[in-house]
Structure 1
Amino acid sequence: MTSPFRSLTRLVIAGATVAALLATTGCAAPANGEQSGALSDSVTVTGGSHSEAATQVTLGDTVTSLEEGLDATRFSGDDGFSQFLDKGGASSDAQVVQYLGQHMLAGEAIGALIGNLFGCSTIAVRNTSDGWLFGRNFDWENVQAMIVESHPDDAYASITTVNMDFLDQGSDGMLSKLSDHARTIAALYAPLDGMNERGLAVSVNMIQDSATIDQNTDKPDLTTTTAIRLLLNQAANVDEALTLLRAYDMHSSMGMMIHLAIADAEGNSVAVEYVNNDMVVIDTSVLTNFYLADGDKHGIGTEESHQRYDQLTDTLQRKPRMSIAEVRDALDSVSKDDFGGFASTEWSVIYDLTEHTARYYHREDYTHSFTVAL
């Protein structure tokens, strides 16, 4: 099969520079005006089962390495997403790639925006100091993750997390050779979780099922990750998020069955599932990797995901209000280290839906956190 990255490979071999390529489309990376990110000195924070070393991160236009396997960056300007929607969206990752190549990245394909199967856990809970928190584990093999703080011209600001390996796969590593700005643009269309400035949080969780999502009406189209971008850009709460989702045909990336966890600063939290291409909404504070919807699909998923769900539900019943440290401990209790297998929990993030901060723990190191604020 012909690789969609052949033209990019030829370009690099020919010696053309990415900076010059991007400059021809108005997508050139900032030059003299670039601002790099900054990390504060770590301070000790107590609470929960143990203390942790907490680092505050201020992001700039360039990609900052927080530690091996975890980068972060900041975007501001035109993210092109309104134009993407005006053109009818996309019914496949290939169409998203085509849009980015034609309108954002100088005609060069960047590959599939989401890859193979992954496991996840989410929990929404009231904060002990008032407000609401949303915690999420992303379980996978070791990957290059990137935190993206986005400030688009015509939409809500947001913080998202992206598995950059999902973007880079199939390109023979060529995406990693693009400029920071080009990689950031691609990452904007591939979030796996995030929170916006209104306190709306979203996460995509996989369900291990042979079924897929492929709605086909006269509505415009969205893929898994562009649906997350839509909600973070435009929805202020769960009700608005559900209204937006009902206005589009959903198509699951890479043929994977998924469901969405959505929570807001008003204390609402739901799961959105697609059963036989019908959108189903379930009120829930916990979501892992099996169907919650009533009917023939109910409960389909991995046995481990049922165990993680039961454990988080039990924790929530015992502690209906939690501090950030207690949510950290809850996520730690269902991290992959507790279940064995090949994968790790690549990142855990706690979104404070009231204070609009995101606290990250990388590769199950729950003694050290990185906090990004909108």
Structure 2
Amino acid sequence: MSEQEDASESLSFLPSEQASVEPFEESSESETQSQEFEGEIMGFDGAPDFLDKNYEPKKWREPLENLEKIAEAANVFKLGHKQVAAHRSTPALGKRIRKQGTAIKGKYITYKMPKEKASSIALDASIRAAAPYQKARACSEKSNLALKIDIQDVREKIYEYQAPLSIVFVLDASGSMFRMLKQMKTVIMSLHDDAYQNRDKVGLIVFQGYEAVVLQYPTVNLPAVVEKLSFVQSDSWTPLASGLQRGLEVLKTEVKRNKDIIPILVVLTDGGANVPISQNAPPAFHNSQYYNQLEEEIKEVSEELREGHVFTIVLWPENAKMRGPRHRRIAEAIADYSGGDFFVIKSTAEITDLIHGREFFETYTTGRP
């Protein structure tokens, strides 16, 4: 991690005119929510619960329609940026992504040697490949053809076209992230016009309690996504690895349905993972072995994101630093092992503009295909 941090660049996305924005203010919460938040900071969900043998963990609150709607919060964030090791081109949501392939659509830009049967022959490139051998072929073969093209001369066209996006937001619904979670509604709705025009899809997953739940599979109907987010309530447990795994599964399904899409996973979390993928009830007192298991699961799922060519973006609130260095280390590890980007959310400011791609995604390319 240290080598990547030394190589990283720090970018600030806060416009000068936003310098006077008031800092994010904590609102008063009920005594119960305060106890949950305190328990999450200390690494357990309130000692009295665990002393009760009849204690039953909180389950996902269903149906969502019966939950009280919570008013929308502020619609902006301030973000800082840290770029970690990259392994492919990263897309910009506001700038349409151009994807290359052999499918007969888009603009013909270059050619390649076909692996099997060529779907579209690049005649110009094939002629150039055959030209140096015409004299030898004319002498060795009796033919009236002006040009002799053999199978090894054939080249296949590569087209460039604008690819649709499939964006899945994986949001931390633990107690410490709840107010920030609500602010994502405005961010998601800001994508509405682009999603409608370019057939981009947006999905929503929240993780809390002992599991991650898909509230909305990728769709172009963004108001439906926001509506589902309005009914989410907080919980003090954070099954982070389960959220990442569920997001990967959803995007894999999307790619199977349409191989031309660009899969993007946006993760909003403070990195306070405290529930393993197994979904078993965590022990009353966490030890180092337990946390090592959690971090190993997060590493494995992040590497699967990388292998699945999923573009991963991690948003981490700066105020989570008061909970210790472990939380940031976990959030950075997700971006590191997935080959994605890591952003620090400082306070309420311009996240909507960033999501639209002004500076949110740095475009870079490496040698990885």
Normalising TM by the smaller chain, what interval? under 0.3
Question: If each structure's helix is expressed as a fraction of its own residues, which one has the higher value?
Answer: 2
TM-score (structure 1 length as normaliser): 0.27
Which structure is higher in RCO with an 8 Å CA cutoff and minimum separation 6? 2
Which protein shows a greater Rg?
A: 2
TM-score scaled to structure 2, two decimals? 0.28
